[in-house]
Homo-oligomer: A and B are copies of this chain.
Amino acid sequence: MKFSPLVDELIQSLRCLPGVGPKSAQRMAFQLLERERKAGLKLADALSKAMSDVGHCQSCRTFTEESLCPICASNKRGQADTICVVETPADVLAIEAGGHFSGRYFVLLGHLSPLDGIGPEELGLSLLEQHLQTGDILELILATNPTVEGDATAHYIADIARRHNVKVSRIAHGVPVGGELEYVDSTTLALSFNGRIQL
């Protein structure tokens, strides 16, 4: 048995959202129909606007509907000569929440993954090279994820930076603050020993 065509289509369409299976999609559709018609219409509007108008920042590749994102457009960033390379826009948010970095970002929107057809061009590395060629950049901080792909991407970008004589660094990996040694995996522990700092 199926519902009416429009309800069915709504349930099917909701499944494009990550982590939403058939049951959740049903629950979402019914909740919207029962109680949140206004919010549903607002979501429809926000979706269609965002899907059509949001593009990439010309400087850092994050999502924005302007040509430059708020961070790249701002002239209040103290360390404008430093670029932090991250994999996703959410990483930018995480770093900004800390408030300890005042440089600019470069968002790869992924990591090197030849099997999925994601090479240097897909990550916009030629755009990053253009930034390095200007000579305004003094340091590149690589904050890709500490995974095999993230590390490979970091090494690849480090090579590019060295070619342009730009200082390049990788964020430290080790025991997180508040973590307990006995629960930390051995690879992280090994990294934290290798990356020890003299007091």
Query: A residues touching B (Cβ–Cβ < 8 Å)?
Result: 1-7, 9-10, 12-14, 16-19, 24, 26-34, 36-37, 39-54, 62-66, 69-71, 88-90, 92-93, 96-97, 109
Contact = CB atoms under 8 A, between A and B. Distances in A.
A39 B13 contact: yes
A46 B6 contact: yes
A14 to B, nearest CB: 7
Most B Cβ at <10 Å: residue of A43, A69, A89, A93: A43
Contacts of A40: 16, 47, 50-51
Contacts of A96: 1
* Closest A-B pairs by Cβ, 6 of them: A16-B39, A1-B96, A44-B47, A44-B48, A4-B64, A13-B46
Contacts of A10: 46-47, 49-50
Interface majority SS (helix, strand, loop, mixed), chain A: helix
Nearest to A25: B17
A168 to B, nearest CB: 24
Given A6-B50, A50-B29, A13 B93 contact: no
A41 B138 CA distance: 42
Contacts of A39: 13, 16
Nearest to A66: B4
A1 B16 CA distance: 28
Nearest to A24: B19
Given A1-B93, A18-B27, A33-B63, A41 B46 contact: no
Contacts of A17: 14, 17, 28, 31-32, 43
A34 B52 CA distance: 12
Contacts of A46: 6, 9-10, 12-13
B50 A47 contact: no
Contacts of A7: 50, 54, 63-65, 89
Nearest to A19: B24
